[in-house]
Structures are given as structure tokens and as C-alpha cells.
Structure 1
Amino acid sequence: MDHHGEVALPHGQAVPATMQAGGGVPEESQRSQLLHSLHETITNYARRAWEASQGQESFESFLHYLQSNSGSALAPPPPTDLSYPISNYYISSSHNTYLTGNQLTSDSSTEGYKNVLLRGCRCVEIDVWDGEDDSPSSSENEAEEGEERSLRKRLKGLLKGKSSARDKLRSAPPAAPPNSAASERIEPWRVDTNRVEPRVLHGYTATKEVPFRDVCSAIRDYAFVTSELPVIISLEVHTSLEQQAIMVEIMEQCWKDMLMKPPANPDDCADLPLPQLADLKRKILVKVKYSPPTPPAEANQAPVQEPEDTSSGSDEDMPAKVKKPKSKMLEELSRLGVYTRSYHFKSFSQPEARIPTHIFSLSEGVLMEVHESDPRGLFSHNKNFLMRAYPKGVRFSSSNLDPAVFWRKGVQIVALNWQKWDAGTMLNEAMFAGTGGWILKPEGYRGVSDATQQQHAASYANLDMYIEFFAGQDLPLPPDEKERSFKPYVKVELHVEKPEERLGERIPGGGEAREGEYKRHTATTRGCSPDFRREVLRFDGVTGVVPELSFVRFKVMDDDRMKDDLAAWACFRLDRLSSGYRMIHLFDCAGVQTKGVLFVRIRKQLSVSAGT
């Protein structure tokens, strides 16, 4: 596999990961927007548009403009100012990165890490569990493993109240003398090449596993191919102390100087200010639960079973009677959370909430509750400290939350299932398109702002938008559709902030990813290069708009009696949707950049609003 990381799509086609949506790889995006020719229908409309503009340049120059990057509806991103502390940025983030499909039965694979990193993702998740003697080794990773056997083993160990992996580890080397610290009592088995090593999978399900070592190697190889901006590793640790020691060894071996090293004195981390983004280029940060150093008097005691934040939701939504108790964290592993120390969230008044290097991970449901109970505290906290939001565990199909709702709360890390194409991943593409995966927040959301509430963080505007559709060219077909029966129409959705969001009230639909608040669609046409006959869609008098946090989504749908299938799409942050005669470049339903375009004319006007 070359640095482009080819990915096999469901219909069998293999394409470079850099051609898939995700927000990153600006050079690849620019190349994909070059058109070698224009369909006759578009050329005819272009001539009329050129004549109406009084021919200020040659017609050939106008055609060249439409075929070049300059004619794209997507404006280039502004240069990213790297001088702010890292809490002042939105970070393109993945949830359950190892899964290739749904949350219950899909495979785990290193390909997920290669794929999202090449597409601009800067925060990936690893769920780590104790290894088993019959877990696939690096050299055996291609072998199929029976889902029934895998699930039976895990459930059997769960019902007995212990992990089968713990039984396998009883032959581990003996502990150090009783007076040694806990970190010295863990022997990482450095000389045993046949040792059991940790594995990555979605717990309590029939998902397949992959070796933790292979995941770390994939991250090493692909973390900084398309972006030099830092990568955050969100660790969900379900392993024993012995296996945690192996995790530390593997990460240090694989990542070497890329790994952000802890200071010599672990207590110094509590007082460290968050660094500027510029200081973390080509660095890997580990987000892991913080565990204070074990006093010598307690070092010989049995590990304490205690609750821990769960970042993926795999435990959170399970009945209490089947939950596995959390193990104590190994000090060496915990210390790797230099600027991303994870603490269990109780309230914004808890002492840990003032530690500069802390991070809270909350599920979408908990965040919605916090939004209603303490909106001021939520917004103020996220101006200066890191927070991660993730989909609730009952999203078995790997569907996504609405990231815009959480970005508008100031949440920096909104984790999405990148293997699922829905409104959530399309909005993520719009937010990070053509960037290195870190985006500076609007000024009112940064630590330098005096704003204490969401409603005071931005200047709200009224929007009037007019989109005239001329024609399409090379529109991709939905799966299993033939061109002769393809009946496309374009649906335009405007995703803007709801009044309830800024007022701290219950948000209709919660954090669910769904259609935009305002919707319009064209008439149905025919074929892959349709004529839309200059139909105009209007969005008049839309209030409470923040351009940097509002989005316009275009969906090409196939008009069908039973269900209208998605054929293609494009999504834009409103402030980057360019006015004038433009080409909208389309992704297909699998998120792959195509040669399909829509020729349109866009007019938008923003006027001052009271903001309520």
C-alpha cells in the first residue's frame, strides 16, 4: 500500500484515501477540481452568463475559470494561525477508528487508522483489551476468526465476572519485592517474543480484533503524511496492569520521538499551561485517564476497581449487571497524558476542572443534559480547556451525532464514525475542507474572549441566499442504478443554530444528525448531465446565522417511487461558500470525490441581526 492508502469501497472499486471526504489533503482536493471539458448544456449556459456580464473578458477565459480551482464554489481556507493554545481549535476527530462497519459485528482493522489519517483526521480512538493466547499475531492478521467463537468467549468471561485474558496472564513473571512501587512490580516481558500482547476491539460485541502493536505501527506510518499538525490518541483502557506495561513499551518503541514525553516529575503536569499549536508539530499526544502516583504503603495492595470515563460508549449504555469493573491505571501509562489528562466529569466546579491539562469526555446525551443544566459553565469551560464529545453507545449502525451543535458549545473534539456517510460526516468535511485538521475557533469562542455565554460569542446575522441551478455534468449514480432510469433532483439544506442552543434550552432533536433546519429542492430531471433550466431556490430572512458555524448541504437525490436514494453530495461552511457563477464539485454516496459538478449562480447577503 503506497502513501495514498488505497481503500476498497463496497462496490469493489479501490480508490486512494486522499480522494475520500474528510476535510484534509488540500493538494489532492485542488487537483480533483480541475475539469478537462464541459458538457454542451453547461457551455451554452456559460455563454449566456458571459454575455449577460457584458463580456468583460473573453469567453474562453470564462470557460477556463469555470474549469479551474478558481471557479469552485468552495473558497480556500484562511491560513491557520498556530499561535494559540490548543484549546482554541476545533480538531477533526474519529470515533471507534478501528471498526470497518457497524458497532456489533464488523471487523477491526489497521486500515481504519491509515484511512482517516490520510483524510485529515487528527484524533483517533483505540479501545484496548487484554490479549489472549489465540489472538491473531502481526503475521497472522490476515486469518479469519469465527464471530461465534469470539463472541462466546467474551460473553463467557463476562458472565463469570472475570476476563479470560486474566487466566492467560497467570503465568506472568513474579511481582517485585513488597516494598517496591507499583510501577516497579510490573514486569513488561521485554525478552519474551511469544508473550501475549494487548488487542483492539469493541468490547462485549462480536467485532473482530486487531493487535495493539499493529495499530500503533499504522499510526506511526501515516500520522504525518498529509499534515504535520499533532495527532491525539484517545485511549480507552480495559487491560490489566501487566498489559498496560506492554502498551507503554509498544507506544514508546513505535512512536519514539513523535510521542509527547512526560516531564521527569509527574506532578509538574498539573501546572503545565496548554502549549501553542505551533509547538506540537509532528507530535503524538495520548489522551488517557489520570491516575495519581501510588504511595509506597499502598503499592502491595490489590488493584482498586473504580469507575472510569468510557470514551466510546461501549460500557456506558450497558446494564450495570453485565458491566466489567474498571482496572486501576498503571502510573507509567497514566503519565503519558501530558496535555490530555482524562478525568471523570462530575461538574465544572470539581477541582480537576481547573487543571490546565485536563480533558473531559462526555457522550452526546450527557452533553445535552449539561447544556440544559449549566450552559454558561459549559461554554466558559470550553474556551480554555479541552473537551471531547462522542456518539452514544446505542448507535449500533455507526450513525453520527450532529457535530455543529457541539462545535457551537465550544467542544474541540467531536468524534464521528468516519465509516458512515451521513449528515455528521458531511458537516465535518465542510468544517475542515482543505486544512490540516485543526481549525481556529471563532474569536468569541477562544480563551481571549470576554464572552461567558454562547449567545454573546458571535455576531448573528440575517441571511438571504439565492441559488440558480443551470445544469449538471457527470453526476454519479446511486448503487445499482442505470443512467437511463436515473431521475436526479437537488436538495439544498441550510444547517444553522437553533434559538434553543444559545438560550440553554432543550434542543429539538438533541444532538441527532438530521436534515437542515431549512430545506428546498429542484424539480426532477433526467440523466447524468441534466438541465435544471435555471431553477432558483431561495432562502429568505433566515435569522440568527453565524457564518463560521453554519453549513449548506447539497444532495443529489434519485427520484424513485419507493425511496429516494442519495447519488452525490457537497457540503460547505457558509463563510466558505463563494458567490457568483460557480461549479459545485460532488462526492458520491461513498464519500469519494468525483468528476461530477453542478453549474450554479450563488448570491448571498448577510445583514446585522440582534442575535436572539
Structure 2
Amino acid sequence: MNAPLAHYYMYTGHNSYLTGNQLSSDSSSEPIVKALRKGVRVIELDLWPNSRGNKVKVCHGGTLTSPVNLNKCLSATRDHAFLASEFPVVITFEDHLTPRLQAKVAKIVTKTFESKLHRPDTDQLAEFPSPESLKRKILISTKPPKEYLERQSSMEKEYNSAQSEELSDKDSSNQDEEEKNVIPEYRHLIAIHAGKPKGRLVNSLRIDTSKVQRLSLSEQELEEISKENGQDLVRFTQKNLLRIYPKGTRFDSSNYNPLLGWMHGAQMVAFNMQGYGKYLWIMEGMFKANGQCGYVKKPDFLLDKDHIFDPAKPLPVKTNLKV
């Protein structure tokens, strides 16, 4: 367990707070507890502002799912993170928050996890640490605030234009300064920087030798890019983390075949743990390995940098004929 995180498959949940379907079920901390107790090492929380915009709620946005308090989810994670395994737990934030609310989250996370929270010494890791070095640590993974601000920039320009007659230059300047001050608090939480594809999918797989990151693809995007760029996926996952998540039409919390992600080196094949069916059984069976610690080492052929494995290439079949 001394290799970098990127060398391991990680037992990963999707929308970990949901008790049932993706559209109308309740959000609760109980599914998080159940997942952690069976060894899941990656928990996902969707963070949204409440109706007044002054507090953070966890729910599946744009649906009828009920919200749950962020503090409950984080406390449940803290209390049950290391009962099944001592190896690190990663919390992925699907972040839809303003800078002010991000600052609130930073304070809540810091207060809840205290010494269990892993804070990297630098923003740009050249290589992920090992599971062994991160024992009993909790890592936060989300996109940096800069990406949030870029995503919101067009809407902010429209809003600021409409409000320009009501706001003075002084007020605007004060707000900008305030946002600059709160962003570092949140940014310093992030142990694994995340991103989503922009433009052509294959462009997202370019290797940056100066830093590592986590990329998220839907199961459909994985199917598309693996047809012609399978080796690029394998090369990317030798150093970086790749998370695959269920397509948006899986309203019933069903799951997909995890083998396509695993054979391309994807470490975080995210599943609806409250779901059902044979693919969930495959997932559970996979992580019975390695002492059920939630981490399984990838095979050497996926880590060989000199000979990049091509999942689409037919493999020679060896047979022994006994006469």
C-alpha cells in the first residue's frame, strides 16, 4: 500500500446521501454510514445553497429529493470512516456554492475533522501520496474556486450590468475584496483537485507533468472516448485519478458495468450503493480483495509506462493441449 493513490482502484460511491431513487428519495446520513461500514472509501456530497442563500444543504439538485444538513453528513463520515478500514477516505464535493458559502464549508470541515483532515503542503502535487501514508486521514476533492468563478463569470457580468445603476463602485470593490479573502480558506482544503472535460474529451487526457488531478467522466463519455483513445485513458490514469459516474437517466439508482472503467485504469468507478443488481455484486466482490480495505492494486500492465496497454487490442490466447 506504498504506491501512489493512482495505482489503486478505490471503492467509490455516487450521491452517497440518497436513500433510494435519484428523483424523489430522501437525503440522509444513514446511507453514508452504511457505505463506510462496508468499506467504501470515496463518498460524494452535492453542495447547494438553501433558498435564502445563507446556508449549505446536501441534496440532488433540480429534483424532488429532500435535503440533509451538511454537518450531519460530515459528522457521520468522521465517526464511521475508519471502522471497516484504516485507509484514507476521500469526500468529493459536487460544489454549487458561492465564495461566501465555500468559506462556511471550509470552517465546518476544519472544525469537524480537525487532525483527521489531510491538507497538502502545495496546490500542485507532482504525485499523489500513498494510502499507507494517509492512514486514518480524510481528503477533500473538488474543483478549485477559480473554476467556480470562471463558470459563473458570464452570469455575473449580466447580473452586474443589470444592477450597475443600484450599486456604487465602492460597494462592488468591497464585494470583490471580500470574495478574494474567503476563497483561500476553501482552496486550502482541497487535497485532490478535480476537473471536468472542456471541449473535446481527448484534450482532457493531456498529461501535465507538473501536477496531478482528478477528472470525472460519465459512463457515456467513457464509452465514447474509449473507442479510439483507450491508450490515452490508460496513460492518464497511470498518474492521475479518473472518476466514472452513472449517466443521468439512471433515475432508479441502477448501475453500469464497472469493467470498462477498470480495464482503462479508472480508479473511482462510482456506484449507487443503495442500488441493486449484478453490477453492484461485481463491485462488492471486487472489493472483497486486499482484506476488504477499500483499495485494490491495479494490475502491472496498466502501470507500465514503457508499454501502454491497449484495451481494444485482441490479446493472444494461450492454450495448453495435453495429449
Common fold by TM > 0.5: yes
Given the alignment, which residue of 222, 228, 231 partners 2:80?
222
Q: What residue in structure 2 maps to residue 255 of structure 1?
A: 113
- 2:167 maps to none
Read off the aligned partner of 1:258 and give its amino acid letter: K
The code of the aligned residue for 2:307 comes to A
Cα distance, 1:352 vs structure 2: 7.1
Identify the residue that residue 388 of structure 1 maps to in structure 2: 243
The 5 A counterparts of 1:536-547 are none
Confirm or deny that 1:345 pairs with 2:264: no
| Counterpart check, 1:330 vs 2:168 | no
2:135 aligns with 281
Q: CA deviation at 1:261?
A: 1.3
Residues 455-503 of structure 1: per-residue CA shift (max 9 Å, x gap): 4xxxxxxxxxxxxxxxxxxxxxxxxxxxxxxxxxxxxxxxxxxxxxx24
Contact 1:274–1:356 under 8 Å retained in 2:
no
Q: Does 1:244 align with 2:163?
A: no
Q: How does 1:93-108 map to 2 (within 5 A)?
A: 93-108=12-27
TM-score scaled to structure 1, two decimals? 0.45
C-alpha displacement of 1:337: 2.1
User: What do the CA deviations read for 1:336-370 (whole angstroms, capped 9, x no partner)?
Assistant: 222x1012324555597415331101100111111
Contiguous gaps of at least 5 residues in structure 2: 156-178
SS in 1 for 2:250: coil
Q: Distance between the aligned counterparts of 1:269 and 1:356, measured in 2? A: 9
Structure 1 residue 405 displacement after superposition: 1.5
The residue aligned with 1:124 is 43
Q: Residue 165 of structure 1 is aligned with which of 35, 52, 57?
A: 52
User: CA separation in 1, counterparts of 2:40 and 2:154?
Assistant: 34
- Asked if the contact 2:99–2:145 (Cα under 8 Å) also holds between the matched residues in 1, the reply is no
Distance 1:353 1:292 in 2: 20
In the alignment, which residue of structure 1 is the partner of 2:309?
453
Structure of higher CA gyration radius: 1
Q: Where do residues 291-440 of structure 1 align in structure 2 (5 Å cutoff)? A: 291-292=145-146, 304-305=153-154, 330-338=183-191, 340-346=192-198, 347-349=201-203, 353-354=207-208, 355-433=210-288, 434-440=291-297
Q: Distance in 1 between matches of 2:125 and 2:44?
A: 26
Contact 2:206–2:236 (Cα < 8 Å) also in 1: no
- Structure 1 CA distance for aligned equivalents of residues 293 and 300 of structure 2: 19
1:271 positional shift: 4.1
Aligned length: 291
Name structure 1 gaps, 5 residues minimum. Answer: 1-81, 132-163, 170-196, 307-326, 456-501, 505-542, 546-605
| Distance in 2 of aligned mates of 1:451 and 1:201 | 43
What secondary structure does 2:31 align onto?
helix
| Aligned counterparts of 1:238 and 1:290: Cα–Cα separation in 2 | 12
Identity of aligned residues (%): 33
Query: Are the equivalent residues in 2 in contact too, given 1:129–1:201 (CA < 8 A)?
Result: yes
Quick one: structure 1 residues 305 and 210, their matched pair in 2 at CA, closer, same or farther if it must change by over 3 Å?
Answer: farther
Asked if the contact 2:2–2:131 (Cα under 8 Å) also holds between the matched residues in 1, the reply is yes
Distance 2:131 2:15 in 1: 25
1:220/1:103 CA distance change after superposition, 3 Å: same
Kindly indicate which of the two structures has a greater share of residues assigned to strand: 1
Structure with the larger helix share? 2
What TM-score do you get using the length of structure 2 for normalisation? Answer: 0.82
Task: Read off the aligned partner of 2:89 and give its amino acid letter.
Answer: V
Aligned AA (1:218): A
SS at 1:165's partner residue?
coil
Residues 281 and 90 (structure 1), Cα distance of their counterparts in 2 relative to 1, 3 Å cut:
same
- CA-CA distance at 1:278 after TM superposition: 1.1
CA contact (8 A) 1:292 1:331 kept: no
| Counterpart residue number, 1:115 | 34
CA contact (8 A) 2:205 2:233 kept: no
Amino acid at match of 1:236: E
Question: Relative contact order (alpha carbons < 8 A, sep ≥ 6): 1 or 2 greater?
Answer: 2
Contact 1:93 1:413 in 2 (8 A): yes
